[in-house]
Structure 1
Amino acid sequence: MSEKNERKGPAGLPYRPCVGVMLVNDDGLIFAGQRKDSAVAAWQMPQGGIDAGEKPREAAYRELWEETGVSRDLVDYIGKTHGWITYDLPAELLGRVWGGKFGGQRQKWFLLRYRGSDDQIRIDTEHPEFESWRWIDADALLESIVPFKRAVYDSVIRSFRAYLA
């Protein structure tokens, strides 16, 4: 894992610019969604690409809305990771995701405190990514993420540890 923007991913492919959201509740637990498109029970935090001309923080609010139905008026901004965090796609996914244009992702992560109630979280969005969701502690989240993203999640958790259960 590297935090350099200029480094290329596997096969010399660039990194996809992306944001991630660590959404925490008042108990310091983290929102985790179980991916619909995974053959294994993969859980992850909301994340997605940054649109052309979009600022990372705006992309984070948009991705949160698109994947969870949680609007920005239900969250408090706490902070973001310093620099960018990258990960490489494993060989079996190269050329199969994101149209084969990227070798991994370059991510900026945002920590948001959720102020709503559980019934305001709606994963049945226009383009659902999750089949179920739960509040989870950091250690359980690390055990539940796909192995190639584990170092990223470990780094994000270390960055935001003071706000977690």
Structure 2
Amino acid sequence: MENLDSSETPKPSTWQLPVIIGSIVILAGLLAFVVTSTGNRSASAVTPTSVPTVETAAGHGDLTNSPPAPTISVDEAYQRWQAGQVIFVDMRSGEAYRAAHLPGALSLATPELNQRLAALPADGLIVTYGDANQPTAGQRGAQIFRDLGYGSVAALDGGIEAWQAANLPVERP
């Protein structure tokens, strides 16, 4: 055994530092998984730095301090969609999105969401929507996008049910 001088501190073994760092990375990954699997749906695409990303909306939570976003009627949303001026963002669960969604709509979980939003024309509009199970989802989504700096955002009045009641097209698998 070596004698250690009281002024010397023992150095960790060469394997300890990678194990500690690896443990931290694994714990961070597990925490991220738990947070995102409990209803926090955010995109994970790489985006240009000049465009706000949807990822920053994670944990947005309470929107009571944010004024309500404007709403858009089904008729106006349809007309703007036909003119190619709208990106629909479905704020519902992935299961509901896969069952049926507005034409060309993106789910928050769609990897290309941020890229599509970055390519939105200057006169374009982001229209968020929910359904009867989550009637405030469209409004909350519009508020989040607006708070992230997207200028032209609106919530679809009546959600997907109002769209379907007007006999407008939906996409199904």
* Structure whose alpha-carbon radius of gyration is higher: 2
Q: Greater relative contact order (Cα 8 A, min sep 6): structure 1 or 2?
A: 1
Superposition TM-score tier, normalisation by shorter sequence = under 0.3
Report which of the two has the higher share of helix.
2
Report which of the two has the higher share of strand.
1
* TM-score where L is the length of structure 1: 0.22
